[in-house]
Chains A and B, each alone.
Chain A
Amino acid sequence: MSACVSYPTLVALWAGELNEAEAAAVDEHLFGCDACAAATECLAKVVGALREKLPFVISHAHRERLEAAGTRIAVTDVEPTLDPTLRPSARFTPNVDLLVFALRGDVSSADRVDVEIASPTGEPRYVLEDVPFDRQTGEVLIACQRHYEGMFPAGDPIFSVQAVEAGKRRAIGEYVVTHVWR
């Protein structure tokens, strides 16, 4: 039997970065080696779950694919404001599978858009670089899934959108949506 597979090589296999011959050699080893099979089974659980995960920010094409596949989506348009009296609310009714927040702003000249998601107290914090956006509609689509309930116990998260234009960073806006989980 060939030598055991290193963890970085196993990850490269799962990332699809090995050529055909390398991948075949690793796969064949995995079928015959109990230790390496166990290692890839553990990795399979995490990578499989990651691949089923919707990104926090989805493209318009991705939204259309989800709708075509039968996902029931409720879209909320969101303008930049932190004023609690002006923020929109979005509700996870029983007939909704996914909430999508269309954050609106001028991204017409953006080369890249980054989004930061933070709780009102600053943690937890996600920095999402180079996310999908639509120049024409000026929208960045946040996908909010039902199991996110409880992810931000301190309150509804703040979405900060920034554009990078000709190497310079420009704030587009800060957005909050009042989540109603039931």
Chain B
Amino acid sequence: MNATTIEPDQERSFCQRYSKRIRAYGLCHMRDTAAAEDLVQQVLLIVLQALRDGRVKDVDNLDKYVFGTCRNTAMDMRRGSARQRRIAADAATGLPDSYEPRWELADRSRLDQCLGNLEARARAVVLATFVDDRDADDVSRSMSLSAGNVRVIRHRALAHLQRCMKGEQPS
């Protein structure tokens, strides 16, 4: 990618490559869908502006640059800085048209069905972790399990949920 003359097609493919990664980062660490969407727009715009201005020195190492920008922007968003609010106001207008591949959270009704297919203990662990925001140690105490057991139940249950959401048969 040429640092000084980024073409519209290159901008679009840049956005397509990174928008999902930035959103996943935002959902994981900010735990808020709207904040994650804001993060996507702001990070894409900051990096695109840097690319347009030729301020990205190592364009072959863009992954690291985008990650660093994403982390810093998320921190700024948590602080609600004035600079961040200015960027937020500009973000929507500074990105290429149709910059983002279609992205939706899992269907809620389907998720409820798949949760219903889980064994009761696995379902309780998943809900305690991701709905009630309790850590493995806390869950282990109330369910009379070891924290290690809770973690194993949790990742197996999530894998099961992902397969179920895709319509695959449980293994």
Contacts and interface: CB of A to CB of B under 8 A. Distances in A.
A54 B108 CA distance: 11
Interface in B24-51: 24-25, 27-29, 31, 33, 36
A74 interface: no
Of listed B66, B105, B152, B161, residue having the most chain A CB within 10 A:
B105
B73 interface: no
A8 to B, nearest CB: 5
B interface secondary structure, majority: helix
A55 B131 contact: yes
The number of chain A residues touching the other chain, given as a range, is 35 or more
A28 B162 contact: no
Given A17-B136, A112-B142, A47 B27 contact: yes
A7 B151 CA distance: 11
Contacts of B152: 8
A interface secondary structure, majority: helix
A1 to B, nearest CB: 9
Nearest to B152: A8
A8 B159 CA distance: 10
Interface in A114-139: 124-130
Contacts of B18: 31
A46 B27 CA distance: 11
28 contacts: A8-B151, A8-B152, A8-B155, A11-B155, A17-B151, A28-B63, A28-B67, A31-B63, A32-B63, A37-B21, A41-B20, A46-B161, A46-B165, A47-B27, A47-B130, A47-B158, A48-B36, A48-B106, A49-B108, A49-B111, A50-B127, A50-B131, A53-B131, A128-B124, A129-B142, A129-B143, A147-B109, A150-B109
